[in-house]
Each structure stands twice: as structure tokens, then as C-alpha cells.
Structure 1
Amino acid sequence: MKQFLLIAFCATSLTAAAPLPSEAAQIKRACLASDRSAATRQRCSCIQRVADQALTRTDQKTVSKWFSDPHQAQELKMSQTARDDALWDRYQAFGQMAKAICS
């Protein structure tokens, strides 16, 4: 599974559009600003690269807020809307990819 995710990540990295400068690295900035000891520049940069492949810019904006307020993630997870369920599924896939690639 890890190998499949890595291959998928690499394949899609060739076709991704670059984010606008004002929107770039939202996840990386939130990661670095968090008080987690594992939030190194290298790891946060890796997580941002995965986010660029797995999440839309809008998703990244939403998810980046969860670093400082994890309760927002819990609220979305418990939501019953199809839109929130879809975001949660994308977030779960992103988390699995980030763990496989950036650990």
C-alpha cells in the first residue's frame, strides 16, 4: 500500500498546478507554528508537498486551521453532510500518504 501511495504521489506531482504565492504553503506554515516537537522544517515541507497533491487549496485552507484548533476537525468529522464527509475522506487519505512518505 505504501508503495502504491508513493507511486501515485509521484505520478500526480507532474500534473499539479502551482499554488498562488499568497496561498502557498498553508499547511507548512501551520505545521511549523504548531507546538509539536516533530514539526521540523523538513517534515513540514514534506507534509506540504503531500497536501499539494492530495488536497485542494480550499481543503488546505480548512485543514491548516486544524493545527491550532483540532476541535474544528472533530466537528467536521461528526458532521452529517456529504460535503463534510468528502473532505474528511480526502483528509484521511492525505494523512495516510503523509505518514507513509514523510515519516
Structure 2
Amino acid sequence: MKHIILTAVLAATLAPVVPTTAEAGTLQRACMKSERKAANRSLCSCIQKAAKGTLSSSDQRLAATFFRDPHKSQEIRQSDRTSHEVFWKRYKEFGARAQQMCS
């Protein structure tokens, strides 16, 4: 996730419509609450848009936890659980889509 945020700094030039806090999605809120320097409304909104096209609501909730605990993403990636493996494939698709859309 860190790579996505760092490579997406140029998202400010996209000037997307920024939803109100009540309309913000799970990943957008997690992104805005993160302490990463690259996090801003435009980037976080773009990441949320990418998530809506690739991740289910439950996937988004799990991915949002990576902002608070980046090590958790490694635990999920390396897990032997089938559900984690399936999630990780979708998460990689999301990452590629977010990088393409937001950079």
C-alpha cells in the first residue's frame, strides 16, 4: 500500500470531486486518517474510486486496516488461508488499478 500512495502523489492534478465525510468510503477515510505525507483528499478519493471497482465492502474494510497496521498486509499475503489468497489476488488488482488511475 505504501508503494501505491508514494507513486500516486500526482493525483492532485486529477482534481476529482471530493465527497463529504459522510459519503467517503472505507479506504478513503483510512487514507485520510493515516499519517503518510502523500495522503491528501484527491489521492484518497482516487484510491477509493479504484477500490469500488475491484474490492468488495469486506475487502475494503480489511484493506483499510493496512493503513493502521502495515505489517498486517504482510501477514495476509503470507497466510496459508485460501480466503486470504483470494483476497490478495483482488488486492493486487486493486493496487495496479489505483496506481494506474491515481498517478
TM-score interval w.r.t. the shorter chain? 0.7 to 0.9
1:91 paired residue number: 91
Q: Give the whole-Å Cα distance in 2 for the aligned partners of 1:35 and 1:23.
A: 21
Q: Give the 5 Å matches for 1:3-82.
A: 25-82=25-82
Q: Secondary structure at the match of 1:27?
A: helix
Relative to structure 1, the CA distance from residue 23 to residue 69 in structure 2 (aligned partners, 3 Å threshold; closer, same or farther) is farther
Q: Secondary structure at the match of 1:67?
A: helix
Q: CA deviation at 1:102?
A: 0.5
The aligned amino acid for 1:50 is A
What are the superposed Cα offsets for residues 43-96 of structure 1, whole Å, 9 maximum, x if unpaired?
Answer: 100100110110000000110011010111111111012111010110011001
Regions of 4+ moved over 4 Å: none
Counting matched residue pairs gives 82
The aligned amino acid for 1:39 is A
Structure 1 gaps of 5+ residues are 1-21
Q: Give the whole-Å Cα distance in 2 for the aligned partners of 1:66 and 1:47.
A: 14
Q: TM-score, normalised by structure 1?
A: 0.75
Contact 1:26 1:60 in 2 (8 A): yes
Q: Give the whole-Å Cα distance in 1 for the aligned partners of 2:24 and 2:56.
A: 12
Q: TM-score, normalised by structure 2?
A: 0.75
Computing the radius of gyration over CA atoms, which structure comes out larger, 1 or 2? 1
Q: CA deviation at 1:23?
A: 9.0
